[in-house]
C-alpha cells in the first residue's frame, strides 16, 4: 500500500501545500504522498463547495424576508430541481470517472475527447429539460402539493429555475471534467465567479435595488440563472485557452459514439442512483406538505443550513473520487483505497465538529433566516435532529463517491434504494402519521437513513469489488 513517506512537521510546509492547492498544481496525484494528494485536491474542492454553501444560505436569507409562502415556493421548487440535480450529478459521475481514468493512464487526448462527449450529452439533456420547465413550471409546482398562496406568488419561479436548468447541467458537468483531470483550482474559481454574481444579483432582482426590477421571489431565480450562465462561459474559456490539464482542440469537436456510450453506461446508472436520492427527498417534502407551509418553510431553512455544512464535505468526497479514478488508471488499487479512507476520516472529523455546533446553537442559527416562531421552531428541530448524525454522513459521502470514481455506479445505487426508498420514506411516513410525531418524524428518518448508509457503504467498500471495474 502506498502511504505517506514523510511527515510535514513545519506549519510553513502545510501552508505551502494549501497555497499550492489554491493556486493550482501540476502535481501527479498517482505519485504524491496520499495525504498530500488528498489535501491538494480537497482544499480547492472544499472552497468551491463552501462558496456554493454561502450562496445557498444567502439566497434563502433574502427570500426569507418575503415570508413563509416565498420560502415554501423555493423549497418546493428545489424538490423539483433535485430531479435535475440527479441527472446533472449522474452525468458528472460518468465524466469524472472516465476523465480521471484516462488521466491516470496518461492519455490526455482521450481525456479531452471524453470531456467533449460529456458536454454534448449535457447540451442535449438541457434542451429537453428546459422546454419542460418553461411549458409546465406552474403545473409541476401544483403537483408537488403547493397551496394557493404559494401558487399565487411563485408560479413563475419554477419556469425560470427549471427552464434555465441547462446552466446547472453544464456548470456541474464541465467542473466535473476539471476535477477528474485534477484541475480542482479551476473548478473552484468557476464556482466562486458564478456564485458571486448570484449573490450580488439575487437581492437586486428580489427587492428592485437601483435600476433592477422588483421581481420578488422570482428575482432569486433570475439572479441564479444569470450567475450560472456566466460561470459556464468562464468554463468554456478555460477549456480552450490551453494552460490546463484538459485542453480542447478542433480535432476533439466531433461526436465519438464509443466514448459517448462509455459515459452513458456509467452516467445512466449514476443518474438513477441520484434519482433514488432525490425522489426520496421529493417524497419527504410531499409528506411535509400535509402539515402546512410553516413545516415546509422550516424544513427548507433547516436543510439549506445543513447543505451549507455538507457541501464542503462533498468537496472532500469529490477529491476521493478523482484520486480513486486516477490511481486505478495508474494500476494502483491499494493506493486508491488508502486515499478514500483518509478522505473519509477527514470528513467525519470535520462534520462531527460542525454537528456539535448545530446541536448547541440551532435556534440562534435558524433565527437569522426567519422571525416566524412556527417556521423557526420547525427549522431548529430539523437542524438539531439531522446534525446528530453528521460524523456518519462524512463516511457515507466519501464511500459513495469512491465507488463512483471507480466506475462502479451499481453498488451505490443499490445502497440508495435500500437506505432511502425501502427505509427512509416508509420510516418517515410511519413516524410522522401513525407514530404521531409529525414533521419531527421526517427529520428523524433522515438522520437514521443516512447513518445506515454510512455503515453499509463502508462495509461494502472494504470488500474491494470496485477495484476490478473496467471502464
Query: What CA–CA distance (Å, rounded) separates 110 from 106?
Result: 9
245-249, 328-332, 439-443, 453-457: segment of lowest average pLDDT: 245-249
Q: What's the rounded mean pLDDT across residues 174-202?
A: 91
pLDDT score recorded for residue 8:
44
Look at residue 12 and tell me whether its pLDDT is greater than 70.
no
Reported confidence tier of residue 4, pLDDT bands at 50, 70, 90: very low
Q: How many residues are recorded in the chain?
A: 471
Average pLDDT over residues 347-373: 91
Can you give the pLDDT at residue 2?
44
- Please report which confidence band the pLDDT of residue 3 belongs to, taking 50, 70 and 90 as the band edges: very low
DSSP secondary structure of 347-414? HHHHHHHHHHHHHHHHHHHHTTT---HHHHHHHHHHHHHHHTTHHHHHHHHHHHHHHHHTT--HHHHH
Q: What percent of the chain has pLDDT over 70?
A: 97
Is the pLDDT at 194 greater than 60? The verdict is yes
Grade residue 1 by pLDDT with cuts at 50, 70 and 90: very low
Show me where the domains of the chain are located. 30-468
Which residues are CB-contacts of 397 (< 8 A; sequence separation ≥ 6)? 310, 313, 314, 316, 317, 347
Residue of higher predicted confidence among 143 and 420: 420
Q: What confidence score (pLDDT) does residue 150 get?
A: 77
User: Tens digits of per-residue pLDDT, 397-408?
Assistant: 999 999 999 999
Inform me whether the pLDDT recorded for 115 exceeds 80.
yes
For the whole model, what pTM was predicted? 0.79
Q: Which is higher by pLDDT, 236 or 52?
A: 236
3-state SS, one letter per residue, for 9-70: CCHHHHHHHHHHHHHCCCCCCCCCCHHHHHHHHHHHHHHHHHHHHHHHHHHHHHHHHHCHHH
Q: 326: part of which helix (H) or strand (E)? A: helix 293-329
Please answer whether residues 190 and 231 qualify as being in contact, where contact means their C-beta atoms are separated by less than 8 angstroms: yes
Note the pLDDT of residue 83: 75
Instruction: Give the residue among 339, 263, 308 at the shortest CA–CA distance from 46.
Output: 308
Which pLDDT does position 237 carry in this prediction?
A: 93
Distance CA 61, CA 166 (A): 25
pLDDT for position 76: 80
Query: What does pLDDT average to over the chain?
Result: 87
225-260 pLDDT per residue, tens: 999 999 999 999 999 887 788 888 888 888 888 888
Q: How confident is the model at residue 55 (pLDDT cuts 50, 70, 90)?
A: confident
Confidence at residue 9, expressed as pLDDT on a 0 to 100 scale: 47
Which residue in the block uniquely carries the three cell numbers 459514439?
257
What is the pLDDT, as a whole number, of residue 277? Answer: 82
Q: How confident is the model at residue 6 (pLDDT cuts 50, 70, 90)?
A: very low
**Which of 176-180, 236-240, 309-313 has the least mean pLDDT?**
309-313
Task: Please state, in angstroms and as integers, the Cα–Cα distance from residue 173 to each residue in 167, 169, 193, following that order.
Answer: 10, 6, 16
CB 355 within 8 A of CB 390: yes
Q: What is the pLDDT of residue 11?
A: 53
Residue 354: which pLDDT band, with cuts at 50, 70 and 90? Answer: very high
pLDDT-derived band of residue 125, with 50, 70 and 90 as boundaries? confident
Q: What is the mean pLDDT of residues 380-403?
A: 93
The pLDDT, as a whole number, for residue 24 is 83
Higher pLDDT, 469 or 93: 93
Amino acid at each position: 500500500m502506498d502511504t505517506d513517506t514523510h511527515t510535514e512537521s513545519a506549519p510553513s510546509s502545510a501552508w505551502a501545500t494549501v497555497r499550492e492547492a489554491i493556486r493550482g498544481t501540476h502535481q501527479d496525484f498517482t505519485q504524491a504522498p496520499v495525504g498530500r494528494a488528498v489535501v491538494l485536491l480537497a482544499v480547492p474542492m472544499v472552497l468551491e463547495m463552501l462558496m456554493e454553501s454561502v450562496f445557498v444560505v444567502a439566497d434563502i436569507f433574502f427570500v426569507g424576508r418575503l415570508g413563509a409562502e416565498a420560502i415554501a415556493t423555493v423549497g418546493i421548487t428545489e424538490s423539483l430541481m433535485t430531479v435535475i440535480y440527479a441527472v446533472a450529478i449522474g452525468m458528472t459521475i460518468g465524466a469524472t470517472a472516465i476523465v480521471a481514468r484516462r488521466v491516470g493512464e496518461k492519455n490526455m487526448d482521450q481525456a479531452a475527447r471524453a470531456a467533449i462527449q460529456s458536454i454534448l450529452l449535457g447540451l442535449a439533456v438541457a434542451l429537453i429539460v428546459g422546454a419542460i420547465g418553461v411549458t409546465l413550471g406552474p403545473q409541476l409546482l401544483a403537483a408537488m402539493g403547493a397551496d394557493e398562496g404559494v401558487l399565487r406568488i411563485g408560479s413563475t419561479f419554477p419556469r425560470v429555475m427549471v427552464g434555465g436548468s441547462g446552466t446547472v447541467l453544464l456548470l456541474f458537468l464541465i467542473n466535473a471534467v476539471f476535477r477528474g483531470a485534477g484541475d480542482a483550482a479551476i473548478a473552484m474559481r468557476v464556482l466562486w465567479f458564478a456564485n458571486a454574481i448570484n449573490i450580488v444579483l439575487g437581492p437586486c432582482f428580489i427587492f428592485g435595488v437601483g435600476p433592477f426590477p422588483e421581481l420578488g421571489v422570482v428575482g432569486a431565480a433570475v439572479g441564479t440563472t444569470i450567475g450560472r450562465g456566466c460561470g459556464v462561459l468562464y468554463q468554456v474559456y478555460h477549456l480552450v485557452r490551453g494552460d490546463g490539464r484538459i485542453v480542447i482542440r478542433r480535432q476533439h469537436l466531433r461526436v465519438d459514439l464509443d466514448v459517448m456510450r462509455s459515459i452513458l453506461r456509467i452516467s445512466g446508472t449514476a443518474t438513477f442512483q441520484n434519482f433514488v436520492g432525490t425522489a426520496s427527498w421529493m417524497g419527504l417534502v410531499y409528506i411535509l406538505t400535509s402539515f402546512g407551509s410553516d413545516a415546509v418553510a422550516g424544513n427548507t431553512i433547516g436543510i439549506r443550513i445543513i447543505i451549507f455544512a455538507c457541501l464542503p464535505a462533498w468537496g472532500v468526497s469529490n477529491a476521493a473520487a478523482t484520486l480513486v479514478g486516477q490511481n486505478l488508471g495508474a494500476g494502483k488499487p491499494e493506493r486508491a483505497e488508502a486515499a478514500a479512507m483518509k478522505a473519509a476520516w477527514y470528513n467525519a472529523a470535520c462534520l462531527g465538529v460542525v454537528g456539535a455546533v448545530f446541536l448547541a446553537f440551532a435556534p440562534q442559527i435558524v433565527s437569522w433566516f426567519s422571525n416566524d416562531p412556527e417556521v423557526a421552531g420547525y427549522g431548529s428541530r430539523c437542524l438539531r435532529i439531522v446534525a446528530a448524525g453528521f460524523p456518519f454522513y462524512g463516511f457515507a459521502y466519501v464511500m459513495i463517491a469512491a465507488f463512483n470514481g471507480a466506475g462502479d455506479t451499481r453498488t451505490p445505487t443499490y445502497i440508495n434504494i435500500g437506505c432511502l426508498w425501502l427505509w427512509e420514506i416508509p420510516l418517515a411516513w410511519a413516524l410522522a402519521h401513525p407514530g404521531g410525531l409529525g414533521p419531527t418524524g421526517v427529520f428523524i428518518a433522515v438522520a437514521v437513513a443516512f447513518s445506515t448508509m454510512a455503515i453499509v457503504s463502508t462495509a461494502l467498500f472494504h470488500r474491494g469489488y470496485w477495484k476490478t471495474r473496467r471502464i
